[in-house]
Amino acid sequence: MIKSLHNDERKWYNIFNSYYNLKIRELYKKEIKYPFNPIYVGLKITEKCNQRCKHCWSGKSSFEPSYEQIEKAIQKIKSFDIYHFTITGGEPFLREDCFDIIELAKRNFPVVEVFTNAELLTSKDIDKLSLILGKDDFLQVSLDGLEQTYKAQRGVDGYEKVIKNVELLIKKGINVRVHMTVSKYNESDIFPVYKKCLLLDCHTFSITFVYPLRKGCIIRDETSFDIYEQSIKNISNHHNAGNYKMFIRPFVPIEIQSKYARYKVNKDFIFFNENILHWVIDANGEIYNFMDHIKHKDLRIGNIYNDDIETIKKTNLNVQRKILFRNLNNEKCSKCSLLDSCHGGNYIDNYPDMNKPDRRCKADV
């Protein structure tokens, strides 16, 4: 099985997960009386984008919240004592008030990150960001290939500008996580992008297989798991042979992970659902625990702009009662060596049955 090469800046998240899995097991088959607060919230501040990515799973709502609405939303989110707040889009820097929103977030949350394609940033913008963001904050920059593959996947000629901006961001002391989404358009560039990130002296290089949502559904079926797997192995070998400080964060899809499954009788097969520690909030303000929960409207937690805090708490409790635990005792998972790491994989395609393994799992145990 391929494992993550390093813990990166989100090691705190693993600590939270371990704590919850250890302490909350005793609540299994009991009705919880109070909802668990999220520790991570991602807020889309716009659906508008300056690029035309072929793999994009984002919605295309025409609604864009005002600064005043976002300000009120952040105060509601703050009441849940979250730790990590992410500003996403679309492309956040299309908003003229994006820096005001980042400053607002910094005044209210311990850790702030921004997801961006970095094409629109100017040197003055980067100077401004260096004054706002702290040592624990991050800018995640999408880099889906070198020049030609970048254009093929993202639909624009922005590669050189993005590279220049990444160099400036790092020079100004901003933590940069370069993220690559792999599809059929750029799968040949996985290792070259990794090497580029080493040369740029990025803090973290993260990589993920195209996600099966909206546009990503068709592209995923046409993208090679074999190339992805071999590329991660090549990166692993190269990284382990050198003395590199850059963190590597590969997300390995279940189709690859499950190939390494072996027979093992597990004593623990009841798992706390870590997704309840996430909130993702779209540009319309709709709150879900995870992006693919939008397939099931009864997993909607509320609307951050329209609902009051007590209504959100009440609905959050109702949702958590439906998805808090998975019991995989009667499935092949109970005899799988990967259970402790995958916890049965994705459950949303089997919902409302939480006790079935991921449909994409290839394990034969």
- Alpha carbon distance 89, 103 (integer Å): 17
- pLDDT of res. 3: 38
Query: What is the per-residue pLDDT across 48-82, written as a single tens digit (0 to 9) for each?
Result: 999 888 888 776 778 899 999 999 999 999 999 99
All structural domains of the chain with their residue ranges: 11-252+274-323
pLDDT, tens digit, 9 for 90 and up, residues 1-16? 333 444 355 566 666 6
- Measured CA to CA, the distance from residue 88 to residue 47 in angstroms comes to 9
pTM above 0.75, yes or no: yes
Superfamily of domain 11-252+274-323: Aldolase class I (3.20.20.70)
Q: What's residue 57's pLDDT?
A: 72
pLDDT in tens, 126-170: 999 999 999 999 999 999 999 999 999 999 999 999 999 999 999
CB 351 within 8 A of CB 296: yes
212 prior amide bond cis, ω within 30: no
Helix locations, 45-146, DSSP H: 67-78, 98-108, 123-132
